[in-house]
A and B are shown apart, each in its own frame.
Chain A
Amino acid sequence: MTVKKLLFVMSASVLLAACSRTETEAPPQLAQEETDSIGEIIVSERDGSRIISLAADEKFVENLQTALITADEGDTIIMPEGLFNLTDGLSLDVDGVKLLGSGEGRTVLSFKGQEGSGEGLLVTSDNVVLGDFTMQDTAGDGIKSKGADRITYRDLTIEWTGGPLSTNGAYGVYPVESTDVLIEYVTVKGASDAGIYVGQSSNIIVRNSLVEYNVAGIEIENSIGADVFGNTARHNTGGILVFDLPDLPQIGGHSTRVFRNIIDQNNTDNFAPPGNIVGSVPSGSGVMVLANENVHVFENSFSDNRTANILLVAYQDPFADERYNPLPRNVVIRDNDYSGGGDDPQSVLADLATPLGGRLPEIVWDGVQGWGDTVAQEVNLVIAEPEEIGFVSLGLGSYPLDPAAISPSTTRPQATPVKEPGPILIAHDVKP
Chain B
Amino acid sequence: MAWLTDLPWQVSALGLVCLLGLGACAGPAQGAKPDLSVILADAPAPMLADYGLFTDIAATKPAARVRAYDLINPLFSDHASKKRLVFVPEGVRAQYSQTGVLSLPVGSVLVKSFEYAETGRIETRLLIHKSAGWVGYPYVWNEDHTEARYAPIGAKRDIEITTPAGQALAFQYAVPNQNQCKTCHQSGNAITPIGPKARNLGSDQIAAWTEAGLLSGAPEAFAQIPSIAAGQASLDARARAYLDINCAHCHKSDGAASNSGLWLGWDEDELVKLGIGKHPTAAGRGAGQLNRIIAPGAPDRSILSFRMASAEAGVAMPELGRRLIDENGVTLINQWISQLPND
Q: Restricting to B1-34, which residues have a CB under 8 Å from any CB of A?
A: 5-6, 8-10, 13-14, 16-18, 22, 24-25
Q: How far is the CA of A317 from the CA of B41 in the complex (A)?
A: 54
Q: How far is the CA of A59 from the CA of B6 in the complex (A)?
A: 8
Select from chain A the residue with minimum beta-carbon distance to B285. Answer: A273
Stretch of B106-114, B226-234, B286-294, B334-342 that contacts chain A: B286-294
Select from chain B the residue with minimum beta-carbon distance to A273. Answer: B285
Residue-wise interface mask of B (83-105) relative to A, using a CB-CB cutoff of 8 A (1 in contact, 0 not)? 00000000000000000000000
Contact of B43 among A4, A93, A124, A170 (CB under 8 A): A4
B179 at the interface (CB under 8 A from A): yes
A69, B178: Cβ atoms under 8 Å?
yes
**A88-B174 contact given A19-B24, A139-B314, A320-B272, CB 8 Å threshold:** yes
A116, B313: Cβ atoms under 8 Å?
yes
Chain A residue contacts of B253, Cβ below 8 A = 249
B286, A92: Cβ atoms under 8 Å?
no
Q: How far is the CA of A197 from the CA of B152 in the complex (A)?
A: 31
B41, A63: Cβ atoms under 8 Å?
no
A29 at the interface (CB under 8 A from B): no
A115 at the interface (CB under 8 A from B): yes
Q: How large is the interface on A (under 10, 10 to 19, 20 to 34, 35 or more residues)?
A: 35 or more
Q: How far is the CA of A249 from the CA of B281 in the complex (A)?
A: 11
A146 at the interface (CB under 8 A from B): yes
Residue-wise interface mask of A (1-32) relative to B, using a CB-CB cutoff of 8 A (1 in contact, 0 not)? 11110011010000110111101000000000
Q: How far is the CA of A168 from the CA of B177 in the complex (A)?
A: 25
B125 at the interface (CB under 8 A from A): no
**A276-B287 contact given A19-B22, A169-B314, A249-B259, CB 8 Å threshold:** yes
Chain A residue contacts of B272, Cβ below 8 A = 247, 320-321
CB distance from A125 to the nearest CB of B (A): 9
Residue-wise interface mask of A (171-182) relative to B, using a CB-CB cutoff of 8 A (1 in contact, 0 not)? 100101100000
A117, B43: Cβ atoms under 8 Å?
no
Q: How far is the CA of A169 from the CA of B303 in the complex (A)?
A: 17
Of the candidates A118, A168, A277, the one having the most CB atoms from chain B within 10 angstroms of its own CB is A118
A75 at the interface (CB under 8 A from B): no
**A18-B14 contact given A140-B314, A171-B284, A276-B283, CB 8 Å threshold:** yes
Q: How many of chain B's residues have a CB under 8 angstroms from any CB in A?
A: 62
**A247-B282 contact given A69-B153, A139-B314, A147-B189, CB 8 Å threshold:** no
Chain B residue contacts of A114, Cβ below 8 A = 313-314
Q: How far is the CA of A199 from the CA of B280 in the complex (A)?
A: 14
CB distance from B59 to the nearest CB of A (A): 20
Main secondary structure of the interface of A (DSSP, over half): loop
Chain B residue contacts of A92, Cβ below 8 A = 179
A141 at the interface (CB under 8 A from B): yes
Q: Restricting to A239-292, which residues have a CB under 8 Å from any CB of B?
A: 245, 247-249, 273-277
A354 at the interface (CB under 8 A from B): no
Contact of B24 among A10, A21, A63 (CB under 8 A): A21
Contact of B179 among A18, A59, A69, A170 (CB under 8 A): A69
B261, A275: Cβ atoms under 8 Å?
no
Select from chain A the residue with minimum beta-carbon distance to B313. Answer: A139
A128 at the interface (CB under 8 A from B): no
B5, A62: Cβ atoms under 8 Å?
yes
Q: How far is the CA of A21 from the CA of B253 in the complex (A)?
A: 39
Q: How far is the CA of A39 from the CA of B8 in the complex (A)?
A: 11
CB distance from B88 to the nearest CB of A (A): 21
B220 at the interface (CB under 8 A from A): no
A166 at the interface (CB under 8 A from B): yes
B261, A247: Cβ atoms under 8 Å?
yes
A317, B279: Cβ atoms under 8 Å?
yes
Q: How far is the CA of A65 from the CA of B285 in the complex (A)?
A: 26
A300 at the interface (CB under 8 A from B): no
Chain A residue contacts of B279, Cβ below 8 A = 245, 247, 275, 277, 317
A275, B288: Cβ atoms under 8 Å?
yes
Residue-wise interface mask of B (173-185) relative to A, using a CB-CB cutoff of 8 A (1 in contact, 0 not)? 0100111101100
**A3-B152 contact given A19-B22, A275-B290, CB 8 Å threshold:** no
Select from chain B the residue with minimum beta-carbon distance to A38. Answer: B9
Contact of A140 among B17, B180, B284 (CB under 8 A): B284
A41 at the interface (CB under 8 A from B): yes
Q: How far is the CA of A193 from the CA of B280 in the complex (A)?
A: 12
B320 at the interface (CB under 8 A from A): yes
CB distance from A135 to the nearest CB of B (A): 14
B162 at the interface (CB under 8 A from A): no
Contact of B42 among A23, A139, A317 (CB under 8 A): A23
A167 at the interface (CB under 8 A from B): yes
Chain A residue contacts of B17, Cβ below 8 A = 15-16, 18-19
**A193-B282 contact given A66-B152, A88-B174, A169-B314, CB 8 Å threshold:** yes
Q: How far is the CA of A21 from the CA of B323 in the complex (A)?
A: 38
A152 at the interface (CB under 8 A from B): no
Chain B residue contacts of A140, Cβ below 8 A = 284, 286, 313-314
B172 at the interface (CB under 8 A from A): yes
Question: 6 interchain pairs (CB within 8 A)?
Answer: A19-B17, A20-B22, A70-B10, A138-B314, A140-B314, A171-B284
A-B contact sample (6 more), CB < 8 A, given A62-B153, A168-B285 = A15-B16, A19-B18, A114-B313, A122-B183, A170-B284, A245-B279
Interface set of B (CB-CB < 8 Å, partner A): 5-6, 8-10, 13-14, 16-18, 22, 24-25, 35, 37-38, 41-44, 46, 152-153, 172, 174, 177-180, 182-183, 186, 189, 253, 256, 258-261, 272-273, 278-291, 303, 312-314, 319-320, 323
A-B pairs with lowest CB-CB distance, top 3: A170-B284, A3-B43, A7-B10
Interface set of A (CB-CB < 8 Å, partner B): 1-4, 7-8, 10, 15-16, 18-21, 23, 38-41, 59, 62-63, 65-66, 68-70, 88, 91-93, 114-118, 122, 124, 138-141, 146-147, 166-171, 174, 176-177, 192-193, 197, 199-200, 245, 247-249, 273-277, 317, 320-321
